[in-house]
Structure 1
Amino acid sequence: MQKTKLLDTTLRDGEQTAGVVFSKGEKIYIAQMLNEVGIEQIEVGIPAMGNEEKDTIKEIVKKNLSASLIGWNRGKIEDIQHSIDCGLNAVAISIPTSDIHIKHKLKSNREKVIHMMITVLEYSKKEGLYVSINAEDASRTDDLFLLEFFKVAEQLGANRVRISDTLGILNPIDTFNKVKYFKENLNIEVEVHAHNDLGMATANAIAGAMAGADYLSVTVNGLGERAGNAALEEVIMALKYSVGVDTDYDMRRCKELCEYVAMASNRYIPDWKAITGEKIFWHESGIHVDGILKNPLTYEFMNFEDLGLKRGIILGKHTGTSAIKYKLQELTNEVVDDISLRKVLELLKSKAIFLKRALSDEELLDIYQKL
């Protein structure tokens, strides 16, 4: 399968998370870190927001990053001019295409929406810009009208079209079929922009990649409006391990990026968060620990060190004798007999149930020494 490129929109859609504000310095540093991870394109913000946003984008442009920088715009010529003022040579132009949005948000009709797109696209191409035409609420747009909309964009020189699942209502099968349909009927690049309202953003992004999408839109830690977007770190690892796409992204740098964005957004990473959670390689179940100690591949298909994480063997209600034997040998350098192991196991489980938590190495050692 072709290598799908990533567009990161943490600095735009990620910052649109309710209550999240990045400082100028934070946005510049996030852009630099995204570049170091190897992200192909960064959506740096909304130039039309005004002077402070434009100043930040200009500073990012001055960094001469290897990643392509793209600004987000409404379907208005003045928005495009703001992007040009920032020194950007690529623009994403978002235009509502569903009948719900056209009628209630724009108070318009399909014909006028296409005319709006033509006007701003022709202006953008005249200015020599790379253009992505974004269909807002594409997942609730009639496919025949959306194809007409995209074909007009293609004929007028658009470089890419974005299928935006703005409300996060798609599922992986429908996403795959939509992308396949548009890839078969268009000759320009197709992007998938997935939201996570039903918890399927990453799955939908991967389905889009499997159907031939050229770009996937992601955000660090899955930040974004309402329930967020497809998570950058999850998409990268799913492409590699679930789909088999060879990726060159620096995952150790990605972990640092995720931690920094968590701090800057005040949205901290849960211990169980896929890919970056601190405890996703921690094991307690007796069967699992026994397997891990014999061969990590039994229950770990990713290398925790590649992700900058650590493995943990936890002592609790579900612990088995293999874990206790391993821990006691590590702590005392003694080989514990089976009778003692069973006694320690019984006492340890009782205490873990009573305390409603896992026990520390010191508590295990105390139980063993009091036998």
Structure 2
Amino acid sequence: MTVSGERRAWGWVAHLRDGGTTPWAAWHGEGTREGVYLPGAQQLELLRRLHLAAASQGRRPSPRLVERVVEASAPGRGTPDLELVGATDESPFGPRPVDPADLPDAELTRVATSLLAEDLVASGARRPPEVPPLVRPWRTRYRLVGDPWLADPAREAMVARGRPPGGRGSVVVVVGRDVASMVADAWTSRCFDEGALPWREWLDPFAAGHRLPPRVDLERAAATWARQVGAVRVRVVLDPSALPRLVGVRRALPQPPALAADAVDLARQVAAVLGLLVLPEQRADLLRHTLLPRLLDAPGPPLRLPAEHAAWATQRAVRMRDRMLRAGYAVHGDPDLLVPRPDAVAPAGASGPTDAGVLALAVRLLLDETKEAPR
């Protein structure tokens, strides 16, 4: 590292710590060394973006957040923090120094997700109620399967009402909706449970193999349970208004939350970091009950099936509908509801979550944690 380059770099670090937003390429001041190593380029650029976002809201990130960003790591890269171009002599080994402004948004999101995961762990998982609800002995015996994004909140609400699933003679309720939406639901559910591959990396193999994700293959689920309990005790529910009666309650059951595609992808990336910090059960609890409520008002379009996969989804829906009707399962709702709706398919050229959108949302969540007064 040259002396002038080192002084310039430390001057930029001090500038950013003090709330500055000047890009590295435009910075010409100097400063003194404040540590053993310079912070990584991705950490410093994330800090600059945080200052820009905060300034647009008339505030500044908290001093604590500033220091956390400077000292953060970038999980998932498998390589050292990136150095500033012009601040160090290039080495034939390792990654080359970079201009932070040229970094892809995904590099900055890696740092942000590390901080968000730490915040979730520090906040703690949702505690179960001190007094469990009274289990009603006269309750309807049921099992709730199918689309996990539909079934999970309904099942959780039933347990909270003292009506857990299972028991002798249970009716198996297979819930679903149009195939395009269910495919998006399957990925969303995985993102909030254990993490997943990126949307297209996860989706494209299913379409190429002419198959559906297992948890939203309603016909397969119905057939599996029919072999165990008989087809007469299997109910396929495509009309959400029919579900409460089938599980023995009068009040409506909660519908799945509607989330922006960028919000789902941010949860996916946070889940990967949480997997290194907590056990799987706690990870799912933190994602669903601590992170998810903070994502409900995130801007952006919902996750929708790419246009090029619409024909595949329609073909799968028709096949599923015909097989379930031939098997004689009781279907609540029009079987044609399985066919993808036009609004469940993205316009041509749309690609789901975007790196820029995910980063902007991560920055917003980090700033939400600050308690600094307005300027």
Q: TM-score, normalised by structure 1?
A: 0.20
More strand by share: 1
Instruction: Please give the TM-score of this superposition, normalised by the length of structure 2.
Output: 0.20
Asked which structure has the greater RCO (Cα within 8 Å, sep 6+), the reply is 2
